[in-house]
Structure 1
């Protein structure tokens, strides 16, 4: 089971976003039968089977095994990932694109850049898994509590200068076997719920 799967197919996104089906996906963190799921979620087994077939047809759940229950054989299904994210690719032309943003300091630009990362990394990771390879990535995540807006501005300036210097030192357009990497840095206020905890 993957930790996270990026859904790029529009039909799979529709299936996964259905409230009943998304609940079944959450319940299938561990293998379960349709009968067991029906008892847990309070839906008739026939309806659960209908939803499971839809999830299975889009590779959101997979067969984890079989077991005998009385004289019957029942399939055990499990979600293909612990969690799912929908790629902007699933929205086609309506998906977000950082190139359309006019204000690079706006929240909409930040959201578009983050969504592009979901789409690009999702596509690259799917391709790497198909080749049984790892995808080289780097993620930094930190929380900074600024004393003042002036400190935030100074931090932004110093960070920009440091990143610019590092990029200038390591970027090489002439490297024949080099591979370009996208670097994204973002900062936004921590949601109050996280700040309180």
Structure 2
């Protein structure tokens, strides 16, 4: 764990000095997950106007510029992921707002699709996916919970969010199931209280 932390700190320090290799490592580490996140936040019609890759370029541009200005206090890979995910969700929300303003409203455009494609899009619109605003609120809630946890709790939480089972988490962090379960129960309680 110390190796992971020291490598993170070295990359962040190098990035602060403008090291392109450090920037490349960050891009390589997070691009796939951030791209998937952006794709879930931009519906198919909006992606005809703005590609998730364009949003991601904007995310990295903002992050690198603001990091150079020392606006962030980053202490772990999980913290960096949470920050980049938040920036991505907010950039997607900005695009949604931009393309749904009166003169640009996508709903006013006449689709040039076949009737079958139109029916498919109607079904896609009735979705259980959260709205961008809900996603932003969720991201803020997750950040708040992350900040209240110790480093081990943050690791457990991030792994659980990424779909790891309790057993896999135990093996990865070398802790008992009881410890992991207790931490997850505490996090569930915090989430429950926050949602009330």
Question: What TM-score does the superposition give when structure 2 sets the normalisation length?
Answer: 0.24
Report the structure, 1 or 2, having the larger helix content. 2
Larger radius of gyration: 1
Larger proportion of strand: 1
Could you tell me the TM-score, scaled by structure 1's length? 0.24
